[in-house]
Structure 1
Amino acid sequence: MRSRALAMLVVVLGVLGSVASYAAQAPKTDDSPPAELKVANRSIMVLRATLLGEVPALRAKRAKTVITEALEDMDDLTVTLDPVQNSYLVLLGAKRAFIVSPNDVDTLEYASVRQAAEGAAENLRRVVAETQEARSLHLMFKALGAAALATFIYCLLLWGMAWLRRSLLKQLPDLMHRHAQTLKVGRVQIIDANYLYPLVTRLLWLLRWLVVLLLTYEWLGFVLSRFPYTRPWGESLNNYLLDVARYLLEGIIGAIPGLGVAVAIFFIARGATAFSRRVLRRMATPGTFSWLNHETLQPTTRLTSLAIWLFALAMAYPYLPGAGTDAFKGLSVLIGLMISLGASSVVGQAAAGLILTYTRTLRPGEFVRIGEYEGTVTELGMFTTRIRTGLGEVLTLPNSMITNSVTKNYSRTVQGAGYVVDTTVTIGYDTPWRQVEAMLLEAARRTAGILRDPVPQVFQTALSDFYPEYRLVAQAIPSQPRPRAELLSVLHGNIQDVFNEYGVQIMSPHYFADPQEEKCVPRDKWYAAPAQPPKEP
């Protein structure tokens, strides 16, 4: 009877193997979703093929029922593989657990059907071992003891970290004040402890929570791994942490060659910048190039260095970590778009600044008039130019406005340091022009700050309908004179005094008819109240 039963079992298995082989060789004709065979919270295998009309979900349900019944009936079970042509039968004791066919194999995960079947059998052996472990009271108490010990160590580490944090916070102010006093450049203290303390406390707070999260993660993974049912969760936690650490380590190691190339490009660019600076300094010597002198040397050096560093950045960009990722590319496009949309005016200002620099339209220290603004140039920058007016105001003018307006330079044609002072008066035709010129020159001689060499000059700029126009042109130096506005005020006062002394009427602003009396101020009324005469030296 026993031999007859064995013979019948062999026949049945052969028929099932033939059917399974045929089903495995037959192509898939349905779109049934794959189903995961999971027993005792552990994944055995993902079934993907439809066999004998059973979809993957039904196959997984039947296999789970068979495995569960086998685990409940017997404790000592062996897992074996029985090859049937291109498929494999996974046997649990004497029972068929499930079939692994070629259509069940994910080619990205397994190289062959046999490898997939061996992996599924190994997972099933773990289920059998963990089931036996769960039924052992001794092993469960041992797992509880290990979990309790791990929990005690975890709480002890948390308490020790809290104690260390409190100790550091108590000693931190004294340490910071003591070491902050030593960090000085000359007599200037680099770091203020009052501002550094909140930053350090926040860093310690962040470090504390990072350590707490790491300890909690490790404790949870260890405790879950002690018990059979939760062991897959603990293994997944540990594997995830190891995968992240492996990914970071591989990324760091993989980025080292690219970083080496980028660092080499950085040092090459640094050397090229220093070399170009020395070459430009030699080329700026007088008589070498007309466009390169001590005024244009600094902006030329900056532009050359900027060009070298931009070229170096473009060369090093492909070697930077993450340069090939979509996020890095998208960020680069976004930054480029923002610069192109928002920097048009900035580029225009910079171009205007370069034009002013290389054409040498303005120089610091020169007295100029730009549109309706007049003053001494104090700073000539790439984007703006600052001038100080005679009233003590500091005006910041965009360089594009300067290039688009007429600039009158009062200091460019003078002899030595200084600027030009000019003013215009209109006198009637009944006054001899030679007398007018002599009176204007006398007023210039009385004005402190106006140079006698070169000699002031008077020009008749127009012969209008009612009067000629006289223009007094003189030179002043900025070291002795007052600001231009104050000097012009004194000059205008001296012109009025001289003309009043000689009884000559100034016809400005307009002349319609001869008055009954000449519009002059007698000398005895020059200091009418509340004016005060100057004190005798």
Structure 2
Amino acid sequence: MQQESLEVATRNAATALAGAIEATRESRSLDSVVRSVVIAAIATVVLFALLWGLRWIRQAIERWLVRVTQAQTDALRAHRVEFVRQDRMIWFARTTVKTFHRILILLLLYEWVSLVLAQFPYTQVWSAHLNGFLFGLVAGIGSSILNAVPGMLTALVIFFIARFVGRMLDNFFEGVRTGQTKVSWLDPEVATTTRRIAKAIVWLFAFAMAYPYLPGSHTDAFKGVSVLVGLMISLGASNLIGQAGSGLILTYARVFRRGEYVSIGEHEGTITDLGMFATRLLTGQGEELTLSNSLVLGAVTKNYSRTVNGPGYILEVTATIGYDTPWRQVHAMLIEGARRTPGVLTTPAPQVFQMSLSDFYPEYRLVCQAIPTDARPRVVFLSALHANIQDVFNEFGVQIMSPHYFKDPQDPKIVPQGQWFTPPAERPNPKME
């Protein structure tokens, strides 16, 4: 055995020595050098010819793809509605062709360098390394793709099942939202939000199931990126999660709905959007306010629309009138001002409450419900109500003033009994008492 090994080693050494002697002889041979230079020149000419041909083919394919894309996008247009943007499709087609063209150019240059290096004895080793690297790279990529196919198929099946479940959830929650499906545990108003949450859970579960089957999921690089992403989320998403939690509480507690007129802290307006992270209000001055859900959840909220039977809101007017004005007259004038305002409901009827008896005057509050006859902000409606109340008070000669005294008045600020039912106040019907 040792003798055979020695003979094999001797034979290999002799072969290598003979190859080196032959390479040295060729490198010193003028004919060999001239032949190598000629072959390299021919290869260069062929390279430029191929590059020119590839460029011509690329331009021809681009023109053909542009014509086909324009024809197809024009066919997809219906009633001047563009379903697919033509410029985007043309850009995508041209980018795809250019990408393949550049890949082919790189391959041609790589092979040209390898061929030229192979013509000279001193650079033949480099040529062999280049070919070996290219073939090894292609073989490695091909092997990785083949090994990843079963896992990718498994992951695709999992994602396909998740998509199927997602479509089932879409149909179910859409039926709940439109009222076609009746369930006791879900309100139609929160069906859309519940659908999004359910689909997010389904896809997160599907990703967790498919993760081990994804190519490269077991590599250290993939694990490092996963840890980095998890660390970034845990450090930077605490406020985000708090906002989302507040949004869910507001949604499922049904504190308010879109279109309702509310007061949140010092802000007042109509709810235009109730999102997971923020709530938007449209004020009477046309300003859009964006409030974080955590701020909304922590503030005192007044809802002026919840108790109104329709798309309206509650109107409140506070006025302070002196004690020398009959309270029955003030009640009647405030109610008359509400009746003159278009859109104020007669059922339930406007009501006036005496909220306090201050030192110099009582405080009256008119409360009524209104459904606008047209799309008007609450502030415009309230302005019209104020104007009508002023007209009524002016008609009956009553000043809307709050007296303040520095000393006792000469005459007591009382209303004689004979003036208790000063118009527009009406004396109660004895038959009804």
With normalisation by structure 1, the TM-score equals 0.67
The residue aligned with 2:110 is: 217
Residue 369 of structure 1: which of 263, 275, 288 is its match? 263
- RMSD of Structure 2 on Structure 1 (CA): 3.4
The residue aligned with 1:254 is: 147
**Where do 1:154-303 residues align within 5 Å?**
154-165=47-58, 167=60, 177-184=70-77, 187-193=80-86, 204-277=97-170, 288-290=183-185, 292-303=186-197
Deviation string for 1:337-394 (max 9, x for gaps)? 3323333322222111111110000111212111122222222222222222223333
Q: Which amino acid aligns with 1:235?
A: A
Residue 368 of structure 2: which of 471, 474, 479 is its match? 474
**Where do 1:57-456 residues align within 5 Å?**
83=2, 90-91=9-10, 123-124=16-17, 126-127=19-20, 130=23, 146-165=39-58, 167=60, 177-184=70-77, 187-193=80-86, 204-277=97-170, 288-290=183-185, 292-456=186-350
Q: Which amino acid aligns with 2:327?
A: W
What is the deviation of 1:415? Answer: 3.0
What is the deviation of 1:465? Answer: 1.2
Q: Which amino acid aligns with 1:355?
A: I
- Asked whether the 8 Å contact 2:61–2:97 carries over to 1, the reply is no
- Provide closer, same or farther for how the CA distance between residues 264 and 176 of structure 1 changes in structure 2, counting only shifts above 3 A: closer
Equivalent position SS for 1:188? coil
The residue aligned with 1:26 is: none
The residue aligned with 1:460 is: 354
Give the distance between the partners of 2:206 and 2:126, measured in 1 at CA.
Answer: 49
Q: Which amino acid aligns with 1:256?
A: V
Deviation string for 1:294-314 (max 9, x for gaps)? 011111111011011011111
Give the distance between the partners of 2:69 and 2:176, measured in 1 at CA.
Answer: 50
- Asked whether the 8 Å contact 1:449–1:481 carries over to 2, the reply is no
Deviation string for 1:436-455 (max 9, x for gaps)? 11111111111122111111
State the identity %.
Answer: 48
- Provide closer, same or farther for how the CA distance between residues 488 and 144 of structure 1 changes in structure 2, counting only shifts above 3 A: closer
Equivalent position SS for 2:112? helix
Unaligned runs of 5+ in 2: 414-433
- Provide closer, same or farther for how the CA distance between residues 480 and 455 of structure 1 changes in structure 2, counting only shifts above 3 A: farther
- Asked whether the 8 Å contact 1:283–1:289 carries over to 2, the reply is no
- Asked whether the 8 Å contact 2:62–2:93 carries over to 1, the reply is no
- Provide closer, same or farther for how the CA distance between residues 476 and 122 of structure 1 changes in structure 2, counting only shifts above 3 A: farther
- Provide closer, same or farther for how the CA distance between residues 186 and 322 of structure 1 changes in structure 2, counting only shifts above 3 A: farther
Give the distance between the partners of 1:140 and 1:380, measured in 2 at CA.
Answer: 80
Unaligned runs of 5+ in 1: 1-81, 93-117, 519-537
Give the distance between the partners of 1:159 and 1:86, measured in 2 at CA.
Answer: 54
What is the deviation of 1:270? Answer: 1.7
Deviating more after overlay: 427-436 vs 185-194 = 185-194
Give the distance between the partners of 1:465 and 1:252, measured in 2 at CA.
Answer: 89
The residue aligned with 2:416 is: none
The residue aligned with 2:430 is: none
The residue aligned with 1:65 is: none
Rg (Cα) greater in structure: 1
The residue aligned with 1:494 is: 388
Give the distance between the partners of 1:437 and 1:330, measured in 2 at CA.
Answer: 74
- Asked whether the 8 Å contact 2:118–2:124 carries over to 1, the reply is yes
Equivalent position SS for 1:296? helix
Equivalent position SS for 2:121? coil
- Asked whether the 8 Å contact 1:448–1:481 carries over to 2, the reply is no
What is the deviation of 1:87? Answer: 6.8
- Asked whether the 8 Å contact 1:376–1:387 carries over to 2, the reply is yes
- Provide closer, same or farther for how the CA distance between residues 364 and 283 of structure 1 changes in structure 2, counting only shifts above 3 A: closer
What is the deviation of 1:201? Answer: 5.2
- Provide closer, same or farther for how the CA distance between residues 474 and 229 of structure 1 changes in structure 2, counting only shifts above 3 A: same
Give the distance between the partners of 2:368 and 2:41, measured in 1 at CA.
Answer: 100
Equivalent position SS for 2:353? strand
Give the distance between the partners of 2:286 and 2:81, measured in 1 at CA.
Answer: 32
Equivalent position SS for 1:504? coil
Q: Which amino acid aligns with 2:326?
A: P
- Asked whether the 8 Å contact 2:282–2:288 carries over to 1, the reply is yes
**Where do 1:23-42 residues align within 5 Å?**
none
What is the deviation of 1:131? Answer: 5.1
Give the distance between the partners of 1:440 and 1:462, measured in 2 at CA.
Answer: 17
Equivalent position SS for 2:290? strand
What is the deviation of 1:267? Answer: 1.3
Q: Work out the number of aligned pairs and report it.
A: 408
- Asked whether the 8 Å contact 1:481–1:487 carries over to 2, the reply is no
Deviation string for 1:217-251 (max 9, x for gaps)? 11221232234333222111111110010011011
Deviation string for 1:51-83 (max 9, x for gaps)? xxxxxxxxxxxxxxxxxxxxxxxxxxxxxxx94
Q: Which amino acid aligns with 2:230?
A: G
- Provide closer, same or farther for how the CA distance between residues 90 and 441 of structure 1 changes in structure 2, counting only shifts above 3 A: closer
